[in-house]
Each structure stands twice: as C-alpha cells, then as structure tokens.
C-alpha cells in the first residue's frame, strides 16, 4: 500500500509531503490526545467521484473533539472543503481520507494546557483493507485476550487516537497467531466489535449486532442497517456471546476500511458454510451500488467532486 501523495493539508495550507512534519515534543504524540476519522472516496460508475457520507464523518470528528474537550480551530464546513481540496490537489478519483486533530507542541505533561490544536488531512490510495479475496472468501478471526473498554474508563463514543492502543494490541496478537483479525469482548464478556470494525451475526435470517453501549457508532454500520431494513431483513441491536457467533449461519464486519467483510471462522470454528453467505453477499452488492452512485435513493450520502 503506497501512502505517499503530493500534498497533506495542515492547518489551512496544502503542504508538500516531505514538509508535513511535527515536532518530536508534540503533545498528541506522547499522550494520544487526538481524534481522527477514516473516510473513503469512490469512483462512481458515471466516471465522477464521491466521498461517502462526508458530512456524517465530519460531524463525528467534531463530536469526538467535544468529548475530549478539544476546540477545532476550523468550522465543519472548512474541514469538509479541505477534505475535497486535498483529494483534488493529489488528483485522486478514489482513496482514503484521514483528518486528524491533535494537541501540538508547547508544554509537556498530562495536562495539554494552552498547547495549540492542530489539524491535518492526508489522503492515499487504499483498496480492500483485509484483502480483496476477503470480500468473497471471508476472514479467520480470534477472540482477543484484550477487553474492549468499560464505558467510563475510556470515552467509547470518541474516535480518539489513544483508544486505538487497545485495538493495536488486539490486532497484532491476532496476526501473530495466524488470524486475519480480532474479535473483542466488552467488560461484561459480550461481543463488542473487531479491532476497527462493527460486527454482525445472522441466524435464521435475522441480523444481530451489538448495541452502541460500548462501541463506536460506525457510519458504515448505520448505512448497512438502513440498507438491510430496506431489503426486508430484520435487524436486532442486542448483546450476544462468542458462542452465538460459533453457531451463527453467517458473520461479518463493517467499517470504512473493511467495507463489508464476511467472517468465515472464529477461534478455528467454521461459521456457516465457511465463506461469504447469502445475506453478506446481498448487503455487499447493495452497499457497493450505493457508494458507486448506482442507487439514486441514497444520492444524499455521496459528496460529489471532480478533478
């Protein structure tokens, strides 16, 4: 995956890649006091380009900042325009967008004091996060030995950088043990999510996903739930256990990076037929029609732009 592009937007200015640097004593680097978003732009079937649910992502970025007590020195409209400006400057018809709000350098210590709040936006090409074959064949995952946060130990509704140490531990453990991804349990032992994805199971035609009690409100999650209900599926937001995943007919992840990725096995137990099932395939098809601009009903989810 080649990350290098021509420009990164930093504090209102398009900055050449090699000059987009921060000081080693940047507060956010030491304490993880930062919030970010992961957003995708897609090339549509008519040759145009569109960012998927850009408004909702920017709104969540500002919500995450509010939860952490960070005041972003730009308006939501300015950040929205900057995301598109960065795509256009890098001549990207499709790709991944990473806005980052972080506490800059100044005083050190846990208290960020009056350090400046900095904003950066990077874009880069990114295909299927878990591999192109994963969208069809599914992935193998393990139950992580690391627990997702209790709701009052970390702010689970903020997409904050520090929260992702928990995810990194879970992901690297899973990869080291030969799996593709981790499934994390909450503090009560119920299934929470993947290291960076929302999770679902299907049993007897009913789709079940954990409620938002301890997990981030995924924008792809919201989109897939809306599509599933429109297609006539019953969707239940309810706690479930790891052994319910073992005996499910299907299981899958969703997320901006993961899109909709089936799960073929958990803890070496094959789930269903061991590949993408009919519900996952139907939802994948519906989701990709939306992001590619083929479903006019959801045209409002697409922020169009041109190079």
Catalytic residues: 159
Query: Distances from the Cα of 268 to the Cαs of 169, 186, 262, in angstroms?
Result: 20, 21, 15
Q: Which of 249, 35, 259 is nearest to 132 (CA)?
A: 259
Cβ-based burial of 151 (10 A; exposed 0-12, middle 13-18, buried ≥19)? middle
Query: Backbone dihedral region of 149: left (phi > 0), alpha (psi from -120 to 50 degrees) or beta?
Result: beta
């Amino acid at each position: 995956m080649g990350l290098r592009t021509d420009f990164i937007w930093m504090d209102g200015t398009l900055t050449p890649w090699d000059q987009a640097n921060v000081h080693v004593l940047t507060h956010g680097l030491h304490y993880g006091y930062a919030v970010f978003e992961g957003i995708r732009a897609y090339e549509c079937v008519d040759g145009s380009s569109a960012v998927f649910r850009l408004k909702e992502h920017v709104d969540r970025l500002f919500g995450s900042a509010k939860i952490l007590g960070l005041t972003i020195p730009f308006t939501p409209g300015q950040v929205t325009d900057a995301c598109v400006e960065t795509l256009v400057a890098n001549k990207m018809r499709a790709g991944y967008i990473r806005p980052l709000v972080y506490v800059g350098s100044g005083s050190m210590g846990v208290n960020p004091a009056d350090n400046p709040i900095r904003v950066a936006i990077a874009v880069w090409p990114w295909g299927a996060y878990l591999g192109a074959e994963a969208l069809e064949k599914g992935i193998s995952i393990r139950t992580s030995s690391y627990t997702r946060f209790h709701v009052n130990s970390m702010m689970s509704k903020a997409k904050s950088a520090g929260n992702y140490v928990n995810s990194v531990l879970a992901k690297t453990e899973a990869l080291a043990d030969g799996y593709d991804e981790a499934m994390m349990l909450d503090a009560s032992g119920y299934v929470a999510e993947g290291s960076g994805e929302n999770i679902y199971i299907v049993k007897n035609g009913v789709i079940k996903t954990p409620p938002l009690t301890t997990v981030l409100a995924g924008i792809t999650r919201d989109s897939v739930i809306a599509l599933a209900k429109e297609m006539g599926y019953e969707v239940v937001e309810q706690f479930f256990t790891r052994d319910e995943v073992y005996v499910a007919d299907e299981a899958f992840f969703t997320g901006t990076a993961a899109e909709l990725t089936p799960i073929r096995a958990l803890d070496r137990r094959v789930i269903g037929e061991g590949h993408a099932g009919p519900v996952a395939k139907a939802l994948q098809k519906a989701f990709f029609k939306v992001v590619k601009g083929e479903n006019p009903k959801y045209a409002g989810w697409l922020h169009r732009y041109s190079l």
